[in-house]
C-alpha cells in the first residue's frame, strides 16, 4: 500500500502497526479507529531524517497516515494556486512564497489559540505571524561554501564572488528558489545601493558583472555536493540548511558567513483554507513548533529553532542562523519582492539562463 501525490511524492503509511500502539501521551490515538490521513506539502530535503524525527512520531502519537508532496517551495505554491480543489492540508514554504500565498487568499488564518507552542516562538517569528499567517518553524540564511584550493584564494565577503579569478567557478541559487531574491540583495549591496531604492536596477547590473563567474545556477542545493565533488565549481552561495549535505562528502569545502551580514528566511507552515482536516493540521503545526521536535531537527536537519526554549550547544549551533549569525541577518522584504518578481525573473533569465 503506497500513496503518492504529484511532483516528487512519498508517503509514510504505518496504520496497522501504529493503531496497535497504545498509551503514552497520544490522547488522540485510539486502537479501534482507522487512521486519519494528513497530506503535507514540504521540501524534499533529508527525507529519511524527516521521517524519523518529525513524521513517524507524529503518526504514532495521533494515529495518522502522512502523505507527502515534495518539491521546491515555488513549484508547490504554483501547484496549489492552480488547483483550488487541492487535497493538501498543510504546506511548508519559504517566507516569500508564503507571503505570496497569503496575498492570494490560499490559507486559513491561523488562530494561535489552537497552536499553544506559538506562545514559545522567538520575537521575530511572532512578528511574522502576527497577521494570522502561518508560523515559522525554522530560520535560515545564506553564506558562501568554497574549496580554498580550487578557488585559489580565501573568500570572506560577498564582494569576493566578483573577483575575476573565479571566472566559470561559482554557482548561485536560481531566482525562483528560496534564496534567489536574497541573491539580488547581495548584488545590490555590491553596488552599494538599497534594493528597494531602484527596484533592482543596480542589482541586475551587478548580476551582469557576475555572470562570467557563474558556471550555472541551481534549483536544488543538494546538487551542489556533486558539483563540488566533480570539480565543476569552486564556490557557491547556499542556504545554511544545506551545508551538512555539501561538506559531509567534501571535506575540503568550508562555509563562511560574511561579517558584513547575511539575509534571512523563515520557513513557515500554513493550512490550506480548503483542508478537510484543519484540526489535525493544527496539531501538526504545534508538533513542528514543539521544543521536543525542534531539539531533534536542530541536530538531524540543521534547522535553527524558532522555539525560544530550545538552547543549542556550540557544536549544534554551528552552521545555523543562531546566536551571532542571527544577530547580523538582514530582512528580505517579501511583499516588495513579490511585487517585482515577474519582471525580475525575466531579467534574470536573460542574463543567466540563456
The reported pTM is 0.78
pLDDT at 22 over 80: no
pLDDT at 7 over 90: no
Q: Are strands 304-305 and 214-218 parallel, antiparallel or unpaired?
A: unpaired
Owner of C-alpha cell 488562530: 111
Q: Give the pLDDT band (50/70/90) at residue 84.
A: confident
Q: Which CATH superfamily includes the segment(s) 8-139+265-323?
A: Periplasmic binding protein-like II (3.40.190.10)
8-139+265-323 against 141-263+327-352: fold identical: yes
Residue 311 contacts by C-beta under 8 Å, 6 or more apart in sequence?
A: none
pLDDT in tens, 169-188: 999 999 999 899 999 999 99
The CATH number of the domain covering residues in 141-263+327-352: 3.40.190.10
Owner of C-alpha cell 506559538: 118
**Domain spans of the chain?**
8-139+265-323, 141-263+327-352
pLDDT in tens, 48-73: 999 999 999 999 999 999 999 999 89
User: Residue-wise over 279-308: b if at least 16 C-beta within 10 A, else e?
Assistant: ebbbbbbbbbbbeebbbbbbeebbbbbbbe
Full DSSP string of 272-287: BTT-S-HHHHHHHHHH
pLDDT in tens, 192-216: 999 999 999 999 999 999 999 999 9
Mean of pLDDT values over 249-276: 93
Angle formed by the axes of helices 73-82 and 95-103, to 10°? 10
Residue 79 contacts by C-beta under 8 Å, 6 or more apart in sequence?
A: 6, 7, 69, 71, 86
pLDDT in the model for residue 80: 97
pLDDT at 299 over 60: yes
Residue (of 49, 105, 111) closest to 77 by Cα position: 105
pLDDT at 14 over 70: no
Amino acid at each position: 500500500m503506497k500513496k503518492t501525490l504529484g511532483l516528487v511524492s512519498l508517503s509514510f503509511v504505518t496504520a496497522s502497526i501504529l493503531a496497535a500502539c497504545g498509551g503514552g501521551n497520544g490522547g488522540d490515538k485510539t486502537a479501534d479507529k482507522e487512521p486519519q490521513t494528513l497530506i503535507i506539502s514540504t521540501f524534499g530535503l533529508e527525507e529519511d531524517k524527516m521521517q524519523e524525527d518529525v513524521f513517524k512520531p507524529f503518526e504514532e502519537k495521533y494515529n495518522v497516515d502522512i502523505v507527502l508532496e515534495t518539491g521546491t517551495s515555488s513549484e508547490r505554491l504554483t501547484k496549489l494556486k492552480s488547483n483550488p480543489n487541492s487535497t493538501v492540508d498543510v504546506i511548508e514554504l519559504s517566507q516569500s512564497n508564503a507571503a505570496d500565498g497569503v496575498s492570494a487568499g490560499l490559507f486559513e488564518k491561523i488562530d494561535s489559540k489552537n497552536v499553544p507552542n506559538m506562545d514559545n516562538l522567538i520575537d521575530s517569528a511572532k512578528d511574522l505571524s502576527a497577521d494570522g499567517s502561518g508560523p515559522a518553524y525554522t530560520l535560515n540564511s545564506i553564506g558562501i561554501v568554497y574549496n580554498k584550493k580550487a578557488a585559489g584564494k580565501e573568500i570572506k565577503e560577498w564582494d569576493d564572488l566578483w573577483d575575476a579569478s573565479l571566472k566559470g567557478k561559482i554557482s548561485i541559487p536560481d531566482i525562483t528558489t528560496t534564496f534567489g531574491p536574497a541573491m539580488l540583495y547581495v548584488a545590490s549591496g555590491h553596488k552599494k545601493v538599497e534594493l528597494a531604492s531602484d527596484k533592482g536596477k543596480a542589482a541586475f547590473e551587478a548580476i551582469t558583472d557576475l555572470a562570467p563567474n557563474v558556471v550555472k545556477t541551481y534549483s536544488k542545493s543538494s546538487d551542489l555536493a556533486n558539483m563540488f565533488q566533480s570539480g565543476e565549481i569552486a564556490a557557491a552561495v547556499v542556504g545554511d540548511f544545506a551545508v551538512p549535505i555539501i561538506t559531509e562528502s567534501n571535506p575540503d569545502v568550508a562555509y563562511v558567513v560574511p561579517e558584513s551580514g547575511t539575509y534571512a528566511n523563515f520557513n513557515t507552515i500554513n493550512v490550506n483554507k480548503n483542508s478537510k482536516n484543519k484540526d489535525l493540521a493544527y496539531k501538526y503545526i504545534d508538533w513542528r513548533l514543539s521544543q521536543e521536535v525542534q531539539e531533534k531537527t536542530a541536530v538531524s536537519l540543521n534547522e535553527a529553532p524558532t522555539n525560544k526554549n530550545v538552547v543549542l550547544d556550540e557544536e549544534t549551533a554551528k552552521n545555523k542562523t543562531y546566536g551571532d549569525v542571527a544577530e547580523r541577518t538582514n530582512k528580505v522584504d517579501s511583499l516588495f519582492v513579490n511585487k517585482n518578481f515577474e519582471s525580475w525573473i525575466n531579467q534574470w533569465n536573460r542574463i543567466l539562463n540563456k
